[in-house]
Amino acid sequence: EVMKEVYDIRSMEQRLKNVLQLDEVHIVPGDSDNYSWVKKEMGRTCVSLMKKNLTGGDNILAVTGGTSIAAVADMVTPDNGLKDVLFVPARGGLGEQVENQANSICATMARKAMGKYRLLFVPDQLSKESYKSLNEEPSVKEILQLIRSANMVIHGVGEAHVMAERRNSSREVLEKLSKDNAVAEAFGYYFNQSGDIIHKVFSIGIQLEDLPVIPTIITVAGGASKARAIQAYLKHGPGQILVTDEGAAQAILQTN
């Protein structure tokens, strides 16, 4: 029985890899919508991928915010390969509560890995003008340089309306998202079902166009409720490795 379950998961990983056109898919059993330990297991899987892919040299690891990446941070343990890693937040100021912010998660990961970290201190909800001038600040420029030269990015994907509500987005933004049928959010960008960008939060840090040159990108997102969001983001999103759960995997495979 156990062997059959393992076999089923492995075959689901293969099918999902083909449907989503990814290099690697890792599925943990269960559905994180129903059980919080499933999210922790995704975290554990992501940490082993981190350790496997960050070998030798001075690596820079950029992380986003959210509860899924916080679960990754929870599972980090000291490791020879991680102690020379510099942890940085991928983007700053997306309107999240402190525990869900990239900065907090980045600092936790570094502490647990006994590595180093740098943070991005920028206010939320920047106007276009302040966004431009902040980008020119020498201290900000220096850390932006580090962030853009990351070897690895670990990020979450959320449902558009869930994320917009959680970040207390303005009425105008909420209306725009529903009018344009936003389904997914990642890195502060909102996407429709075809994977087109329909809205973007102004914030400094990694922009979507910076991603294609980053050697390893790990997407961590699960739960049947995120099935549509995961698919939409990965339409154009430069994902390579997906860590997800059985709940999301089944829901995606049912519609393909």
67 near ligand G3H, judged by CB under 6 A: yes
DSSP 62: E
Rounded-to-integer distance, Cα 189 and Cα 94, Å: 10
Structure tokens at 103: 């900065």
66 near ligand G3H, judged by CB under 6 A: yes
Per CB under 6 A, the list member of 105, 120, 144, 186 interacting with ligand G3H is 186
Closer by beta carbon to ligand G3H, 65 or else 93 = 65
Per CB under 6 A, the list member of 82, 113, 157, 177 interacting with ligand G3H is 157
**Quick check: 186 and 121 in contact, CB under 8 A?**
no
Per CB under 6 A, the list member of 30, 115, 156, 239 interacting with ligand G3H is 156
Per CB under 6 A, the list member of 45, 68, 108, 169 interacting with ligand G3H is 68
Q: Which residues contact 237 (CB under 8 A, 6 or more apart)?
A: 186, 191, 195, 208, 211, 219
Shortest Cβ 249–ligand G3H spacing (Å): 16
Give the 3-state secondary structure of residue 48.
helix
Structure tokens at 164: 């917009």
Closer by beta carbon to ligand G3H, 156 or else 237 = 156
Closer by beta carbon to ligand G3H, 12 or else 157 = 157
Rounded-to-integer distance, Cα 225 and Cα 33, Å: 7
Give the 3-state secondary structure of residue 90.
coil
**Piece in contact with ligand G3H (CB under 6 A), picked from 76-84, 140-148, 157-165, 171-179:** 157-165
CB-closest chain residue to ligand G3H: 66
Rounded-to-integer distance, Cα 8 and Cα 129, Å: 52
Rounded-to-integer distance, Cα 51 and Cα 48, Å: 5
247 near ligand G3H, judged by CB under 6 A: no
Per CB under 6 A, the list member of 158, 237, 239, 247 interacting with ligand G3H is 158
Give the 3-state secondary structure of residue 243.
strand
**Piece in contact with ligand G3H (CB under 6 A), picked from 60-68, 105-113, 174-182, 211-219:** 60-68
Which residues in this chain contact ligand G3H in the complex, by CB under 6 A? 64-68, 156-158, 163, 185-186
